[in-house]
Amino acid sequence: MAILIGAEIYRHSTYGRQHPLRVPRVSTVIDLARALGWLPPDRYRTSPRAKVSALAAWHDPDYLSALQAGEGMNAPTPEMLSRFHLGTLSNPVFPEMFRRPATGAGGMLLAAELVEQGGVVQVPGAGTHHGLPDRANGFCYLNDCVLGMLALRRLGIRRIAYVDIDAHHCDGVQHAFTGDPDALLISTHEEGRWPFTGTLDDDGGGNCLNLPVPRGFNDTEMRAVLEDLILPALQAFRPEAIILQCGADAVEEDPLARLSLSNNAHMEVAAALRPLAPRFIVTGGGGYNPWTVGRCWTAVWSVLSGQEVPDHLPEAAQTVLRDLSWRGGARPGPAPHILTTLRDPAREGPVRSEIRTRIAALRGR
């Protein structure tokens, strides 16, 4: 039985009115899934908040102390800013700046325990793949992906595959596991976009397959990557556990990337990866359009929990979507179909030659 891990802290916390993460995300997934009747009590767990001692499995104690101290401040100290990158535009000081990421990390630690004997867990509040041991990085104060992988290792699960379809490269995860023969890292991400890592020739010490993709990356191209690169690599690696970082910023309507996937691509990847290991954890990640990120991760939950997606959303689910907003800014509202459906129209197209060439290069390693 698939389990979804969430928490109410996401409903009430925000990075600030000028930050892309001012929009609701996890709360939308919970509300949509409940409105659809897909989240009975036995399938939901409340995420615990990870203790500092658990976070110190990878993060520097001085950094964790600074992160905790920042919750009571209106502005960072000079050391917090220069040494730990706390208080920047990307990583602002805000009232839940320790509790919120520690909840995402706690969700991943719980997910590792839940799948120890096998199983499927979705943690939409996790997926902070940029976090570094001693500083915040790219909206990520902690790296719950790394902490979750280390938790699996402590439970005796050695061979772990990490697949990342976020629009941005998983630089923090690669930093943690570079060259680890028992970890396989596969990342698709938009070329020329921050953090400007994960080039095609970057093999992370021999265990990373980095596939930068051009703007306009479509569903057909994602399917080609899935069938010709991701699935063969996973089948050869034979993982004991798979973590899928399912960032929704690769969806066409997202404001922080220029890729053109529909949420069907995320659903296809999740469905294809699920049977390849006895343990499967799916996280959130990027996603900054309040309507498309909530729809995407709820659609992925339908795959994991075995639900049939209706052609037309019931009124209760439509109400959840109608009540969303950008919470500031002058961006346009959603297209009408986004308020009445869960599955996007397919965004198929040609598979460009550079995609095929890059897949071939990675397969040749």
Write down the number of H helices and E strands in the chain: 14, 8
Q: What CA–CA distances, in Å, run from 335 to 218, 241, 262, 291?
A: 19, 38, 14, 10
Domain ranges (residues) in the chain: 3-363
Q: Phi and psi (nearest 5°) for 68? A: -65, -45
Q: What CA–CA distances, in Å, run from 331 to 90, 218, 290, 354?
A: 20, 23, 11, 32
- State the Rg of the chain over Cα: 19
pLDDT of residue 228: 98
CA distance 35 to 33: 6
pLDDT of residue 329: 72
Q: What CA–CA distances, in Å, run from 291 to 116, 170, 274?
A: 33, 24, 25
Q: Look up the pTM and report it.
A: 0.98
User: Integer distance in angstroms from the first to the last C-alpha of the chain?
Assistant: 37
Task: Return the half-sphere exposure (C-beta side, CA atoms, 13 A cut-off) of residue 24.
Answer: 21
Q: Which residues of the chain have pLDDT under 70?
A: none
Tens-digit pLDDT profile for residues 95-127: 999 999 999 999 999 999 999 999 999 999 999
Tens-digit pLDDT profile for residues 179-213: 999 999 999 999 999 999 999 999 999 999 999 99
Find, among 213, 314, 325, the residue nearest to 265 by Cα: 213
pLDDT of residue 330: 74
pLDDT of residue 365: 84
CA distance 309 to 325: 24
**What tokens were used for 186?**
């596969």
Please give the CATH number for the structural domain made up of 3-363.
Answer: 3.40.800.20
Q: If residue 46 lies in a helix (H) or strand (E), which one and from where to where?
A: strand 44-46
**Amino acid sitting at position 50:** A
